[in-house]
């Protein structure tokens, strides 16, 4: 079906926190009824005249909302309308805890809940709160020092919770993004970001939010002035090297990449270099060794505290569980999202916080690189996924450099990315990240409940690196990658990764990532006539496991791999039996897979494998390819007619129509082959 495409990523949501509880909360019906009664009681207390009671009720709801069986009840009881006004409560403590409850509700509730929150006008009090916090920070500068510090901390804490609510809702609702644009929220959050030297947590929350709202939002891009870009530049180029700042710089780099269309052309090379320099530094760090070091530091700190009887009661008492909800955002392209909900880790868990920051920074870096390598043509992704004005250049001409001009074309921009990628040895660093996580780090995390979720984060980094590898292999010239020997070594490495896990078919994310990397690698090797190191038997074992995966992407990759392998074998002698095996398997997929896209991919692979070559011709006759295709042709036409408009996009239907025409031509060709060989 043509050249493989790589999924773009939106930022993964991050908060160093606990998560929506599912199994425990739903253990039995009695507990559910008890929690439902507690929810009603807490909602009632939100109206209590005592600020302390309202605050406690908000804290209780923030925890309760993380239990999904209770969440639906809270939505049904209109918790959003009751919590919304408390964002502007006279008590600062109530404001903060109300925002925390809404943060958890938006993170745990998913897209429907977030959209419902917008419908119930949560954006009105939320934007008002953000504006009040901004004004409060300005007026607070006139207060006496002691009072100023105390009030500033309270206001910044409220702002942090509010920004997280804004971030979650904008991630899920285009209406919320539109309100963000119209209400001038950009100026407010940039003011918060500018406080990064003294409050990195607030700055990180803002950076996440900005990465979300700047993606595919040309209306907002018009609002960015030279001053706004300067704030981003200052944060990205900060000299502080702590792990939290590494995460901040990675996120801001992603935001600046989203703004590339409004950056003057003569500044683009400089920007790309600055972004990839930061990402290179992030990927340079050994996450496994950092996990080992940080866990050791935490153990020693707690041991020392125990000896002096200073261990806080809540140290290491909060479980951290990762949530896989909201993986796909409807009507948006190429999304990947992980959610960490906001029942905050105690401040004593600083080592865990810092380690999470590094892991998230590395995941973010890999996702940004994938996005940099991807085409910006929306139609490019339809098959597998189911310019600034003169004024813009004028007002940004003083940002990053003192020049302006016409924007670079995508081709030139791609050249700049190529150069920077290789200059910073990023391909080599990505190859290293495709290895399985450090076994010692995994063992350490598995023995500690609060660190155990980091295993999944490490596995996610491996999967992101494999997707990144797919992009680089497709994008860069073979010489930039190290030549044929490097590609062969890489093929061996991927084979070892794959077959070192007997149950690889059970790990859907890993299987999709490695199948995509293999597809791109084999495609490149075949186009350059580089001999493949994986045996046909190994590939068939892999393909048979992946062809029946519930993951659509895996099935598409598997079919493409079969087509690439078969096309290579068709040019060689002594490959008759293997070609017959591949042909039969592709026929089975084409005729039995429930997805027309996968079926179309399988037909396309058959066209490639049996288009030419003596062995291919003999194999096609022996497996009765012609009769199988003739029998399937009317079925394929009928499926396109009946299912097409309801299930598939216009671009997908266009491709399917082309395959339908090619099928007719291929049948004619096969009739000629069969007649010649059987006469």
Kindly indicate the confidence band of residue 603, based on its pLDDT and cuts at 50, 70 and 90: very high
Question: Is a pLDDT exceeding 70 seen at residue 444?
Answer: yes
418 closest CA partner among 498, 477, 459: 477
Question: Is a pLDDT exceeding 50 seen at residue 625?
Answer: yes
For residues 164, 170, 175, 177, the Cα torsion angle rounded to the nearest 10 degrees is: 100
What is the structure's pLDDT at 414?
61
**DSSP-assigned letter for residue 299:** H
The tokens of 421 are what? 């990628």
CA gap 545, 537 in Å, rounded = 12
What is the structure's pLDDT at 66?
83
Kindly indicate the confidence band of residue 555, based on its pLDDT and cuts at 50, 70 and 90: very high
CA gap 202, 235 in Å, rounded = 12
What is the structure's pLDDT at 415?
75
Percent of the chain with pLDDT over 90: 61
Residue 6 DSSP SS3: coil
Identify the residue with better confidence: 78 or 381: 78
Nearby residues of 331 by Cβ (< 8 Å), 6 or more positions away:
174
pLDDT in tens, 97-110: 999 999 999 998 88
Q: How far apart are the first and last CA of the chain?
A: 33
Kindly indicate the confidence band of residue 146, based on its pLDDT and cuts at 50, 70 and 90: low
What is the structure's pLDDT at 569?
92
Identify the residue with better confidence: 634 or 14: 634
Q: Give φ, ψ of 21 to 5 degrees.
A: -90, 135
Q: Which long-range contacts (CB under 8 A, 24 or more apart) does 290-294 make?
A: 290/243, 290/355, 290/358, 291/355, 291/438, 291/441, 291/444, 291/445, 291/451, 291/454, 291/458, 292/438, 292/440, 292/441, 292/444, 294/351, 294/352, 294/354, 294/355
Question: Is a pLDDT exceeding 80 seen at residue 212?
Answer: yes
Looking at residues 294-314, what average pLDDT do you find?
80
Q: Could you write out the DSSP letters of every residue in 104-118? A: HHHHHHHHHHHHHHH
CA gap 559, 585 in Å, rounded = 9
pLDDT in tens, 454-505: 999 999 999 999 999 999 998 888 888 889 999 999 999 998 998 887 777 7
What is the structure's pLDDT at 349?
86
Average pLDDT, the chain: 83
Looking at residues 244-259, what average pLDDT do you find?
96
CA gap 519, 559 in Å, rounded = 9
- Sign of the CA dihedral running 76, 77, 81, 85: negative
Question: Is a pLDDT exceeding 50 seen at residue 406?
Answer: no
Looking at residues 328-351, what average pLDDT do you find?
47
What is the structure's pLDDT at 75?
85
What is the structure's pLDDT at 159?
96
Residue 533 DSSP SS3: coil
Computed over its alpha carbons, how large is the radius of gyration of the chain?
28
The tokens of 90 are what? 């006279």
Kindly indicate the confidence band of residue 140, based on its pLDDT and cuts at 50, 70 and 90: low
The answer to whether the beta carbons of residues 15 and 342 sit under 8 Å apart is yes
The answer to whether the beta carbons of residues 555 and 598 sit under 8 Å apart is yes
Identify the residue with better confidence: 150 or 671: 671
Helix or strand holding residue 679 (H, E) = none
**DSSP-assigned letter for residue 27:** S
CA gap 655, 56 in Å, rounded = 58
pLDDT in tens, 520-531: 999 999 999 998
CA gap 108, 458 in Å, rounded = 23
pLDDT in tens, 18-64: 445 544 444 444 455 566 788 899 999 999 999 999 999 999 999 99
Nearby residues of 201 by Cβ (< 8 Å), 6 or more positions away:
160, 244
Question: Is a pLDDT exceeding 80 seen at residue 413?
Answer: no
Question: Is a pLDDT exceeding 70 seen at residue 317?
Answer: no
Question: Is a pLDDT exceeding 70 seen at residue 586?
Answer: yes
- Sign of the CA dihedral running 640, 643, 646, 649: negative
For residues 251, 330, 328, 123, the Cα torsion angle rounded to the nearest 10 degrees is: 50
Kindly indicate the confidence band of residue 380, based on its pLDDT and cuts at 50, 70 and 90: very low
Looking at residues 572-582, what average pLDDT do you find?
94
The answer to whether the beta carbons of residues 361 and 247 sit under 8 Å apart is yes
What is the structure's pLDDT at 151?
76
The answer to whether the beta carbons of residues 295 and 451 sit under 8 Å apart is yes
Instruction: Give the length of the chain.
Output: 679
Looking at residues 230-251, what average pLDDT do you find?
95
User: What global pTM score does this model have?
Assistant: 0.83
Question: Is a pLDDT exceeding 80 seen at residue 315?
Answer: no
Looking at residues 134-147, what average pLDDT do you find?
69
Q: CA of 241: how far to CAs of 18, 200, 363, 367, 635, in Å? A: 26, 12, 18, 21, 61
Looking at residues 623-638, what average pLDDT do you find?
96
Backbone conformation region of residue 334, classed left if phi is above 0, alpha if psi is from -120 to 50, else beta: left
CA gap 507, 463 in Å, rounded = 11
CA gap 4, 517 in Å, rounded = 10
CA gap 341, 430 in Å, rounded = 29
Lowest-confidence pick of 144-148, 176-180, 400-404, 427-431:
400-404
Kindly indicate the confidence band of residue 323, based on its pLDDT and cuts at 50, 70 and 90: very low
For residues 505, 508, 509, 513, the Cα torsion angle rounded to the nearest 10 degrees is: 50
Question: Is a pLDDT exceeding 70 seen at residue 398?
Answer: no
Looking at residues 176-189, what average pLDDT do you find?
96
Q: CA of 470: how far to CAs of 216, 354, 517, in Å? A: 23, 29, 4
- Residue 397 CB-density burial (10 A; 0-12 exposed, 13-18 middle, 19+ buried): middle
Question: Is a pLDDT exceeding 70 seen at residue 638?
Answer: yes
Residue listed under structure tokens 């990465």: 211
Lowest-confidence pick of 44-48, 124-128, 344-348, 427-431:
344-348
């Amino acid at each position: 079906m043509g050249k493989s495409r790589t999924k773009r990523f939106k930022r993964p949501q991050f908060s160093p926190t606990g998560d929506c509880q599912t199994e425990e909360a739903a253990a039995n019906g009695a507990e559910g009824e008890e929690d439902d009664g507690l929810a009603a009681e807490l909602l009632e207390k939100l109206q209590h005249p005592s600020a302390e009671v309202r605050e406690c009720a908000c804290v209780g709801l923030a925890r309760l909302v993380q239990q999904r069986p209770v969440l639906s009840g809270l939505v049904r009881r209109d918790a959003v309308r009751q919590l919304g006004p408390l964002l502007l409560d006279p008590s600062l403590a109530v404001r903060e805890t109300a925002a925390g409850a809404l943060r958890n509700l938006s993170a745990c509730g998913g897209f429907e809940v977030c959209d419902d929150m917008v419908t119930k006008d949560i954006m009105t009090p939320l934007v008002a709160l953000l504006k009040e916090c901004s004004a409060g920070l300005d007026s607070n500068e006139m207060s006496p020092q002691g009072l100023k510090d105390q009030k500033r901390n309270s206001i910044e804490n409220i702002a942090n919770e509010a920004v997280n609510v804004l971030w979650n809702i904008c991630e899920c609702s285009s209406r919320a993004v539109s309100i963000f644009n119209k209400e001038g929220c950009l100026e407010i959050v940039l003011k918060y970001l500018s406080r990064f030297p003294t409050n990195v947590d607030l700055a990180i929350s803002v950076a996440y939010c900005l990465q979300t709202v700047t993606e595919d939002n040309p209306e907002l891009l018009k609002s960015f002035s030279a001053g706004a870009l300067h704030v981003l530049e200052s944060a990205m180029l900060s000299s502080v090297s702590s792990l939290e700042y590494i995460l901040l710089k990675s996120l801001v780099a992603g935001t600046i990449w989203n703004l590339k269309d409004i950056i003057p052309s003569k500044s683009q090379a400089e920007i790309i270099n600055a972004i990839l320099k930061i990402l290179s530094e992030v990927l340079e760090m050994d996450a496994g060794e950092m996990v080992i070091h940080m866990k050791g530091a935490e153990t020693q700190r707690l041991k020392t505290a125990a000896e002096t009887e200073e261990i806080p009661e809540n140290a290491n008492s909060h479980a951290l569980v990762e949530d896989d909800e909201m993986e796909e955002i409807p009507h948006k392209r190429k999304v990947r999202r992980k959610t960490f909900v906001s029942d905050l880790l105690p401040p004593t868990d600083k080592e865990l916080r810092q380690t999470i920051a590094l892991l998230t920074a590395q995941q973010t870096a890999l996702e940004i690189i994938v996005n940099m390598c991807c085409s910006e043509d929306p139609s490019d992704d339809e098959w597998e996924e189911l310019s600034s004005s003169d004024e813009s250049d004028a007002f940004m001409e003083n940002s990053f450099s003192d020049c302006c001009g016409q924007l670079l074309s995508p081709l030139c921009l791609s050249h700049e990315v190529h150069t920077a990628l290789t200059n910073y040895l990023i391909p080599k660093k990505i190859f290293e990240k495709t290895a399985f996580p450090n076994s010692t780090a995994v063992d350490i995390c598995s023995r500690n409940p609060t660190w155990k979720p980091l295993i999944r984060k490490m596995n996610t980094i491996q999967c992101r690196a494999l997707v990144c590898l797919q992009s680089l292999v497709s994008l860069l010239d073979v010489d930039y990658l190290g030549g044929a020997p490097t590609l062969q070594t890489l093929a061996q490495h991927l084979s070892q990764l794959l077959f070192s896990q007997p149950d690889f078919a059970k790990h859907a994310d890993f299987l999709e990532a490695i199948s995509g990397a293999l597809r791109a690698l084999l495609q490149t090797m075949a186009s350059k006539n580089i001999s493949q190191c994986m045996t046909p038997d190994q590939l068939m074992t892999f393909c048979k496991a992946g062809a029946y995966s519930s993951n659509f992407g895996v099935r598409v990759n598997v079919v493409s791999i079969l087509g690439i392998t078969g096309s290579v074998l068709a040019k060689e002698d002594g490959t008759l039996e293997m070609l017959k095996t591949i042909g039969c398997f592709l026929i089975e997929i084409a005729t039995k897979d429930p997805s027309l896209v996968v079926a179309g991919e399988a037909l396309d692979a058959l066209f490639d494998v049996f288009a030419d070559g003596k062995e291919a011709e003999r194999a096609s006759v022996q497996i009765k390819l012609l009769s199988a295709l003739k029998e399937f042709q009317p079925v394929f036409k009928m499926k396109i007619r009946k299912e097409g408009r309801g299930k598939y996009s216009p671009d997908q239907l266009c491709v399917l129509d082309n395959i339908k025409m090619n099928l007719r031509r291929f049948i004619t060709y096969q009739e000629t082959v069969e007649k010649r060989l059987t006469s």
